């Protein structure tokens, strides 16, 4: 074996490797993508759930958007007020946020709502909506109870109880996943501090509502008459409470003949 030849080959390979390493190091400096220091700090504060509730693909996308001023410091629904305040300090702005929770606009459980037929089998709400009549319940606006929203929630904050979806407000982070999967558009975000809600989504006339649900809104407008702040309005046979105006006096609930207006416990 030619020892000198082997040694020369090793030295040549080593030299080439060293040169390539040096060139790569120089290239990494020249072509390095500068990262925003604020973006890195914000990303470190975000919880990392990548749930998409902020409207971005994940926490990296939200962090970049906040750092660029394209998203508010309160953009992360999972992090809540504490994360928003910390991000606000980084961005030099205040984090004025109101905690929100999901609310299901239906009270048509097994006792209150009548059914057209009984369905048994493996079906999701997104599939059941295409069944004749928009699902087995007589009210075509109400919760079908097949649990698409339950499957979408990463935080175990929503469950089907007695035939309808019910939100655990203490677990809800207002990510909005349940809202996006509900084919009946039954779920909306309301302030955590809300005192009265109207769990109904029907736009049918009163006489038809009474045929399908014991506690459905009949659009009688009695709830609007004694409201001191005009927080309750009736549109298209359905009452709705403007939570920003509501003072929680309960006058609307006392007037409601259907007892559809509920106090939040």
Lowest mean pLDDT among 19-23, 141-145, 166-170: 19-23
Question: Residue 242's closest CA among 194, 178, 192?
Answer: 194
- Name the pairing type of β-strands 164-167 and 187-191: unpaired
Return the structure tokens found at 182. 């509900």
Place of tokens 């509900």: 182
Arithmetic mean of pLDDT over the chain: 87
Give yes or no on whether 37-91 and 194-265 have one common fold.
no
Q: What pLDDT does 208 receive?
A: 94
Q: What pLDDT does 3 receive?
A: 67
Average pLDDT over residues 218-233: 95
Q: From the centroid of its chain, how far is CA 19?
A: 53
Place of tokens 């925003």: 36
Place of tokens 């990494």: 28
* Banded model confidence at residue 119, pLDDT cuts 50, 70, 90: confident
In words, the CATH class of domain 37-91 is: mainly alpha
- Compute the distance between CA of residue 145 and CA of residue 220 in angstroms, rounded to an integer: 28
**pLDDT of residue 80 exceeding 90:** no
152, 181 contact by CB (below 8 A):
yes
In words, the CATH class of domain 98-192 is: alpha beta
**pLDDT of residue 33 exceeding 60:** no
**pLDDT of residue 28 exceeding 70:** no
Q: What is the pLDDT of residues 154-171, one digit of tens each?
A: 999 999 999 999 999 999
**pLDDT of residue 32 exceeding 60:** no
Tell the burial category of 190 from Cβ atoms under 10 Å away from its Cβ (0-12, 13-18, 19+).
Answer: buried
* Banded model confidence at residue 2, pLDDT cuts 50, 70, 90: low
Q: What pLDDT does 201 receive?
A: 95
- Compute the distance between CA of residue 118 and CA of residue 99 in angstroms, rounded to an integer: 39
Q: Which residues lie across from 166 on neighbouring strands? A: 159
Q: What is the pLDDT of residues 171-208, one digit of tens each?
A: 998 888 999 999 999 999 999 999 999 999 999 999 99
Q: What pLDDT does 55 receive?
A: 76
* Banded model confidence at residue 231, pLDDT cuts 50, 70, 90: very high
- Does domain 194-265 bear CATH number 3.40.50.300? no
Q: From the centroid of its chain, how far is CA 67?
A: 23
**pLDDT of residue 65 exceeding 60:** yes
Average pLDDT over residues 209-215: 93
Q: What pLDDT does 53 receive?
A: 77
Tell which wins on pLDDT, 33 or 215.
Answer: 215
Q: Sign of the C-alpha dihedral, residues 134, 140, 143, 144?
A: negative
Q: What pLDDT does 7 receive?
A: 66
Tell the burial category of 131 from Cβ atoms under 10 Å away from its Cβ (0-12, 13-18, 19+).
Answer: middle
Domain layout of the chain by residue ranges: 37-91, 98-192, 194-265
* Banded model confidence at residue 127, pLDDT cuts 50, 70, 90: confident
């Amino acid at each position: 074996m030619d020892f000198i030849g082997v040694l020369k080959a090793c030295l040549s390979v080593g030299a080439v490797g060293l040169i390539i390493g040096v060139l790569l190091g120089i290239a990494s400096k020249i072509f390095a993508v500068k990262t925003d220091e604020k973006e890195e700090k914000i990303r470190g504060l975000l919880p990392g759930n990548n749930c998409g509730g902020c409207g971005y693909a994940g926490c990296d996308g939200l962090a970049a958007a906040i750092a660029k001023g394209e998203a508010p410091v309160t953009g992360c629904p999972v992090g809540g007020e504490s994360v928003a305040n910390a991000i606000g300090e980084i961005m030099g702005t205040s984090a004025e946020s109101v905690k929100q929770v999901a609310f299901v606009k239906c009270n048509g459980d097994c006792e209150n709502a009548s059914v057209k037929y009984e369905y048994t089998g493996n079906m999701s709400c997104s599939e059941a909506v295409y069944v004749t009549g928009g699902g087995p319940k007589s009210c075509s606006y109400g919760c079908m109870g097949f649990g698409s929203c339950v499957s979408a929630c990463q935080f175990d904050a929503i469950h089907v109880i007695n035939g309808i979806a019910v939100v655990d407000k203490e677990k809800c982070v207002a990510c909005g996943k349940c809202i996006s999967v509900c084919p009946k558009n039954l779920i909306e975000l309301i302030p955590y501090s809300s005192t009265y809600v109207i769990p109904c989504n029907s736009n049918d006339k009163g006489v038809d509502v009474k045929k399908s649900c014991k506690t459905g809104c009949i659009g009688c407008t009695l709830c609007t008459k004694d409201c001191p702040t005009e927080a309750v309005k009736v549109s298209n046979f359905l009452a709705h409470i403007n939570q920003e105006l509501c003072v929680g006096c309960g006058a609307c609930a006392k007037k409601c003949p259907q007892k559809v207006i509920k106090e939040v416990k």
